């Protein structure tokens, strides 16, 4: 329970699975709810909260952040069975939403959805071979006449352009995005590619070997997340933070920490929040650190324990 003079926030009836925060501060608490009087349909698992009042304003039929995909511009996707994803669109206040379209794959398993600044939806698919399907947004005035549906667009598979499968895609600006994928063959490596988002042509690429030059048994770049900050890519793995130059896609700096890194988050000011994990008497303990980096020299200039 969080309280002040005007606001009360209570999710005691919830077994929390995860939380997603929108750019405007509204957030979804995912989990399994006990029946509550506000919602007669017990198939609704999660609540969307208003950032200002901390009051729930919408129920959603999704129980985990891993099945929810914020596609920006009010659109979102919900995984139905990992072969089908339903697209929806919020109203302006996120107090209601309407169905837009289903996206399906006949072969393989859908993994996740992402939307590029050019309006295309990237559909990640895993089968015998991993690949990506591009859905392009097109106008469709015929939809106005069907079941009083006011949508004026739909998404269709774009056969003109193709993408290989990448672990993830990160938008660099409104004209370029970066894709990366790992290779487990010897030597293990990570391939980085920068694409033009108008024609999906490769503009730049490089491969970073995941081995220490002085010791082939030592691995590096086993990162759990990858962040862009200005002209840098920042990731972490083991007890190290890696800084990659976006202009050349080269590993610039390795920063050694005396802590096992569980997760990182790069803040808007460039500081890196590090969640450290260690085992103490058969239990995991977590510590949070705030690390300040001088990105001109790529040196760590301050580390502060937060909790």
**C-beta neighbour count of 189 within 10 angstroms:** 16
Q: Let me know: does 202 contact 190? Beta carbons within 8 Å.
A: no
pLDDT at 141: 65
pLDDT averages per 10-residue partition of the chain, 307 residues: 41 74 93 58 76 91 90 92 88 94 80 91 79 85 55 83 87 93 81 94 92 62 82 90 94 89 91 87 84 93 86
Q: Domain for residue 223, yes or no? A: yes
Q: Domain for residue 199, yes or no? A: yes
Q: Domain for residue 282, yes or no? A: yes
pLDDT at 140: 72
pLDDT at 231: 93
Q: Domain for residue 20, yes or no? A: no
Beta-ladder partners of 58: 48
Q: Domain for residue 292, yes or no? A: yes
Q: Domain for residue 256, yes or no? A: yes
Beta-ladder partners of 78: 68, 86
Can you spell out the DSSP letters for 42-96? TT--EEEE-TTT--EEEEES---GGGEEE-STTEEEEESSSSEEEEEEE-TTSS-
What CATH number has the domain bearing residue 186?
Answer: 2.130.10.10
The domain of 239 spans 166-307
Tally of domains within the chain: 1
Q: Domain for residue 73, yes or no? A: no
pLDDT at 182: 85
| Torsion sign across C-alpha atoms 296, 297, 301, 304 | positive
Cα–Cα distances in Å, from 13 out to 16, 41, 74, 86, 99?
A: 9, 15, 28, 28, 28
pLDDT at 22: 94
Q: Domain for residue 170, yes or no? A: yes
């Amino acid at each position: 329970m969080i309280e002040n003079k005007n606001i009360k926030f209570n999710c005691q009836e919830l077994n929390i699975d995860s939380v997603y925060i929108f750019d405007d501060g509204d957030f979804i608490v995912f989990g399994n709810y006990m029946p509550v009087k506000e919602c007669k349909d017990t198939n609704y698992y999660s609540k969307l909260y208003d950032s200002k009042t901390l009051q729930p304003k919408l129920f959603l039929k999704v129980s985990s952040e891993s099945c929810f995909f914020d596609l920006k511009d009010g659109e979102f996707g919900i995984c139905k069975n990992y072969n089908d994803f339903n697209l929806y669109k919020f109203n302006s206040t996120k107090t209601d939403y309407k169905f837009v379209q289903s996206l399906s794959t006949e072969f393989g398993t859908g993994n996740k959805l992402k939307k590029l600044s050019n309006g295309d939806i990237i559909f990640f698919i895993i089968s015998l071979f991993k690949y990506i399907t591009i859905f392009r947004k097109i106008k469709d005035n015929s939809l106005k006449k069907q079941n009083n549906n006011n949508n004026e667009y739909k998404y269709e598979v774009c056969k003109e352009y193709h993408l290989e499968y990448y672990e993830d895609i990160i938008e660099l600006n409104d004209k370029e995005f970066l894709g990366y994928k790992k290779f487990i063959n010897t030597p293990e490596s990570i391939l980085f590619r920068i694409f033009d988002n108008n024609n999906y042509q490769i503009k730049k690429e490089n491969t970073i070997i995941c081995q220490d030059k002085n010791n082939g048994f030592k691995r590096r770049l086993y990162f759990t997340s990858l962040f862009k900050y200005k002209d840098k890519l920042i990731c972490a793995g083991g007890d190290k933070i890696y800084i990659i130059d976006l202009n050349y896609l080269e590993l610039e700096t390795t920063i050694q920490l005396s802590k096992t890194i569980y997760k990182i988050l790069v803040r808007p000011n460039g500081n890196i929040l590090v969640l450290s994990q260690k085992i103490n008497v058969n239990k995991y303990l977590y510590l949070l650190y705030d690390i300040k980096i001088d990105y001109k020299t790529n040196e760590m200039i301050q580390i502060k324990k937060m909790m």
